[in-house]
Amino acid sequence: MSSTARLSIIGIALLAACTAQKKYSNDGAVLPFKPLPMAGVTRPRLQDSTMKWPKKVDRLPEDAPNILLVMLDDVGFGISDVFGGEVETPAFSKLAEEGIRYNCFHTTSICSPTRAALLTGRNHTRAASGTIAERAVAFDGYTGIIPKSAATIAEILKQYGYDTSAFGKWHNTPAIETSSIGRKDRWPTGYGFQYFYGFLGGETSQYQPRLTENYDHIEPPEHDPTYHLSQDLADRALHWLDDHQAFSPDTPFFMYWAPGGVHGPQQVFKEWADKYKGKFDDGWDAYRERVHKRQLEMGVIPAGTKLTQRDPTLAGWDEVPESQRAFQRRLMEIFAGFVQHTDHQVGRIVEGLEERGLRENTLIIYIFGDNGSSAEGQQGSISELLAQNGIPSTIDEQIEALDRIGGLPALGTEACDSMYHAGWAWAGNTPFKGTKLLGAYFGGTRNPMVISWPKGIKPDETVRNQFHHVVDIAPTLYDILDIPHPEVVNGQDQLPMDGISLEYTFSDGDAASRKKVQFFDNNASRAIYQDGWMACTFGPFIPWEASKTAGIRTWDSARDRWELYELGSDFSQSLDLAGVEPERLGNMKKAFLKLAADNQDFPIGAGLWLRIHPKDRVETPYSSWSFTQDIRRMPEFTAPGIGRESTTVVVEAEFGEKASGVLYVVGGSSGGLTVYMDEGHLVYEYNMLLLERFIGKSPKPIGAGKHRIEIDTDIQGTGEAGVASVLLDGNVIFKVELKRTVPLAFTATETFDVGIDLGSIVSPDYYERRPFEFKGKIHSVDIKLKE
């Protein structure tokens, strides 16, 4: 069907013209379809008129499948037992047995970009999503705003008659547009999803998530020890299916289920982590050896595939002191339990489809990770935002801080935002080099995928090795449904699609790959795939050494050393042929630059900008704010920069005897700032990403009545030391020395709240009293940035 043909008609009812070849009509390229004229006769007089609705027209094939698109977070090629790893994933295994497996499927190596590319079918920078939403910068390919000229799968399927829903992590809304007030057209509901339940940012607590349902921020159950976000997301998905079956059972659905698992914070119940007790005691190097051997035996990697070597900047297990090994082992046990627990929720949804009689004609695409396993835990961490902030720390500092909040048993709980050592991430990407954030290597970009569709795909054991990418999912769905690529959607001329359909692989596992070229770039770690060859360059940023920015400051993209791999005989990028084929490499480098220009990827390295210019982060234009007691859930990226910038805060409030409760707070358990009353005492606490707590307390209780509290903070520079002076009714009552401060953010999705600490709590001192609501009267909280 020609993509230049023009769609003409639909509203709620759909046009009727059928062809001899098919019983449905979708012959155009402009969405939405034009409304049909009523089929009756309209005359001036009612008695001369006839009322008749237009005949409904099917725009979809009669047996159009339901679609369940699942994508996990931050989990690599060598984790699941389906692909030779050592973590049990029964749902992934079940779908592999009932479908087909892919071992050459690719992502962008980072969160928001992969999601934008997946949902639109365009390369990430063409979709203006060259980096994560929180790191957006003012270059065309990096604004973090998916243009309406790149319509999503959900938007197009909705207009063809699908019911659409999304659950879990979104991470494609600008960080300063996630508050309850303001434009919502860049929320999931603005991109074609009729229903959304999940979180808008890049990560959240699994126990106290910052939830959003459609246009409203909502709270999880309080003090429920059985609550876990992944379980909640599965529950909500099943409930939505029940609603769908009750209200529109004859309409196909598209469900996008993308949990926070297993992105940091890596949090799961103890019983799930304990399933892996002792299974990783010999470390990450040994894990890679075992998994590589198993992958070869299973045939999920080609015979002769080499196991790539550990980067010299990444520590080996034998370099880990014995005193630190229990810490490192437990972090991996938690990660493994978290993976299995997340996969279990996928299994619950699949079982739900079976119980509702929907499984036979539901196409399930299960992508095992939006990128490779993540090295953002650095050397092992209890507060994974340390990496995003580029703050160095030692393992001894981490363990010392962990001991203050409960020791090893606190790992995986809401007491900390734990994340495993980069060595485990590297092992989880076996047999490849690299990790998440590296576009050059398959450790960052190659993720397992399984597709199962009982009615449409005959299961077989042939592992599909055709080279494909997340941009190919949208064209595949359109191909299955015979939907032409629209030229115009909602008045917006559409960008060209970068993906191609992989439907041809469904029936022929040995088919030659039809994809000829693919572009990669993340943080200047970049590559081009071209006809079975891969040219790539590591770039200046080392994911497992995020605090080291000196190399970025002096780096010149024009001087990068490139590598070259012939993938037909080198599945794991183990043999660099740059010195053997310099002419081919030169041509491929030129081809990369041409693609980069076409995909608005310039300047190369734009995603690194905030690592050397953190003050340029996206922020609101305001320099002063006035809040009342009912202000809650103001996302940190839209809130005043307290704790990051020099500020003056004035609180006017009325206090009772021995007043208790939070006056104002920003952040969560892994880092934040809170000012609260405790039995009449005024307390200021700066939670420096769990490593340190800078605390001050009034020497005596504040008397009942109306008082003015002022917190005057001077910070020397971005991420540098400062002093917070606390005044009561005009008099300084104590000062707090801030030895260091966060340069970028305390958290990704926690919030600024007045009179209460919602979400994960900033201070463990009031954990048992959470959310520690202030019972007095707060008349105002006025905040002003200093010049």
SS3 727: strand
- Give, in order, the Cα–Cα distances in Å from 148 to each of 198, 394, 471, 490, 538: 22, 45, 17, 8, 32
* pLDDT class of 200 with cuts at 50, 70, 90: very high
Residues 6+ apart with CB under 8 A from 575: 306, 565, 566
Tokens of 250: 């004859």
pLDDT at residue 6 in the model: 35
pLDDT at residue 390 in the model: 87
User: Average pLDDT in the 652-660 region?
Assistant: 97
By residue count, the chain amounts to 787
User: Average pLDDT in the 257-261 region?
Assistant: 97
pLDDT at residue 4 in the model: 35
pLDDT at residue 550 in the model: 78
Tokens of 642: 């307290």
pLDDT at residue 384 in the model: 87
Tokens of 765: 């001192």
pLDDT at residue 375 in the model: 96
User: Average pLDDT in the 531-544 region?
Assistant: 97
User: Average pLDDT in the 470-474 region?
Assistant: 98
* pLDDT class of 750 with cuts at 50, 70, 90: very high
Question: In the beta sheet, which residues pair with residue 166?
Answer: 196, 256
Tell me what percent of the residues of the chain surpass a pLDDT of 70: 96
Q: What is the CA radius of gyration of the chain?
A: 27
117: enclosing H helix or E strand: helix 111-120
What letters, b where the CB count within 10 A reaches 16 and e where it falls short, cover 641-659?
Answer: bbbbbbbbbbbebebeeeb
Query: Rounded distance, CA 13 to CA 67, Å?
Result: 22
> To the nearest 10°, the Cα dihedral for 208, 211, 217, 218?
-60
User: Each residue of 285-300: pLDDT tens digit?
Assistant: 999 999 999 999 999 9
Q: Which of 426, 429, 430 is nearest to 305 (CA)?
A: 430
Which of the residue ranges 26-40, 314-328, 537-551 has the most confident prediction, judged by mean pLDDT? 314-328
Q: What's the whole-model pTM score? A: 0.94
* pLDDT class of 16 with cuts at 50, 70, 90: very low
pLDDT at residue 182 in the model: 78
SS3 266: coil
User: Average pLDDT in the 51-65 region?
Assistant: 92
* pLDDT class of 3 with cuts at 50, 70, 90: very low
pLDDT at residue 23 in the model: 53
User: Each residue of 124-140: pLDDT tens digit?
Assistant: 999 999 999 999 999 99
User: Average pLDDT in the 396-419 region?
Assistant: 95
Q: Is the pLDDT of residue 19 over 70?
A: no
User: How wide is the angle at C-alpha 475 spanned by C-alphas 474 and 476, nearest 5°?
Assistant: 90
User: Each residue of 411-439: pLDDT tens digit?
Assistant: 999 999 999 999 999 999 999 999 999 99
Report the Cα 418 to chain-centroid distance in Å.
Answer: 17
Handedness of CA 179, 381, 339, 297 (dihedral sign): positive
**Do the beta carbons of residue 436 and residue 374 sit within 8 Å?**
yes
HEC letters along 47-58: HHCECCCCCCCC
* CB neighbours of residue 628 within 10 Å: 11
Report the Cα 681 to chain-centroid distance in Å.
Answer: 40
pLDDT at residue 17 in the model: 33
User: Average pLDDT in the 635-655 region?
Assistant: 96
Crossing angle, helix 322-355 and helix 90-97, to 10 degrees? 50
Mean pLDDT rounded to a whole number for the chain: 94
* pLDDT class of 371 with cuts at 50, 70, 90: very high
**Do the beta carbons of residue 401 and residue 485 sit within 8 Å?**
no
User: Average pLDDT in the 175-195 region?
Assistant: 94
Residue holding tokens 């993540």?
374
Query: Rounded distance, CA 193 to CA 203, Å?
Result: 20
User: Average pLDDT in the 379-406 region?
Assistant: 92
pLDDT at residue 26 in the model: 57
182 vs 495 pLDDT, higher one: 495
Q: Is the pLDDT of residue 27 over 90?
A: no
User: Average pLDDT in the 668-694 region?
Assistant: 97
* pLDDT class of 536 with cuts at 50, 70, 90: very high
